[in-house]
Structure 1
Amino acid sequence: MEASFYDFSATSLQGKEVKMSDFKGKTILLVNTASQCGLTPQYEGLEKIYEKYKEKGLVILGFPCNQFGNQEPGDEKSIAEGCLLNYGVSFPMFAKIEVNGPGTHPLFKYLKKELPGFPGNSIKWNFTKFLIAPDGKPLKRFSPITKPEKIERYLAQKALL
Structure 2
Amino acid sequence: MAQNLYELTATLNNGQEKKLGDYQGKVLLIVNTASQCGFTPQYKGLQAMYDKYKGEGLEILGFPCDQFGHQEPGNDSEIQNFCEMNFGVQFPLFKKIEVNGEGTHPVFKYLKQEAPGFLSTSIKWNFTKFLVDKQGKVIKRFAPMTPPEKIDQQIKDLLKK
- Compute the displacement of 1:160 (Å): 2.6
Partner of 2:106: 106
Residues 1:160 and 2:155 are matched in the alignment: no
Partner of 2:13: 13
Partner of 1:128: 128
Secondary structure in structure 2 of the residue aligned to 1:160: helix
Conserved in 1, the CA contact under 8 Å of 2:37 and 2:126? yes
The residue type paired with residue 160 of structure 1 is: L
> Any runs of at least 4 consecutive aligned residues in structure 1 with deviations exceeding 4 A, and if so which?
none
| 1:46-67 alpha-carbon deviations (Å, 9 max, x no partner) | 0001001000000000000000
Q: What is the alpha-carbon distance in structure 1 between the residues aligned to residue 140 and residue 98 of structure 2? A: 21
Secondary structure in structure 2 of the residue aligned to 1:47: helix
Secondary structure in structure 1 of the residue aligned to 2:15: coil
Q: What is the alpha-carbon distance in structure 2 between the residues aligned to residue 41 and residue 150 of structure 1? A: 15
Partner of 1:45: 45
The residue type paired with residue 115 of structure 1 is: A
Partner of 1:66: 66
Q: What is the alpha-carbon distance in structure 1 between the residues aligned to residue 2 and residue 45 of structure 2? A: 34
Q: TM-score, normalised to structure 1's length?
A: 0.96
**Paired residues, number:** 160
| 1:30-61 alpha-carbon deviations (Å, 9 max, x no partner) | 00000000000000000001001000000000
Identity of aligned residues (%): 58
Partner of 1:4: 4
Q: What is the alpha-carbon distance in structure 1 between the residues aligned to residue 19 and residue 133 of structure 2? A: 16
Q: TM-score, normalised to structure 2's length?
A: 0.96
- Pairwise CA RMSD of aligned residues? 1.2
Q: What is the alpha-carbon distance in structure 2 between the residues aligned to residue 160 and residue 150 of structure 1? A: 16
Which runs of 5 or more residues in structure 1 are unaligned? none
Q: What is the alpha-carbon distance in structure 2 between the residues aligned to residue 121 and residue 25 of structure 1? A: 26
Secondary structure in structure 2 of the residue aligned to 1:44: helix
Conserved in 2, the CA contact under 8 Å of 1:32 and 1:129? yes
Which runs of 5 or more residues in structure 2 are unaligned? none
Q: What is the alpha-carbon distance in structure 2 between the residues aligned to residue 19 and residue 56 of structure 1? A: 21
Secondary structure in structure 2 of the residue aligned to 1:82: helix
Q: What is the alpha-carbon distance in structure 1 between the residues aligned to residue 11 and residue 132 of structure 2? A: 19
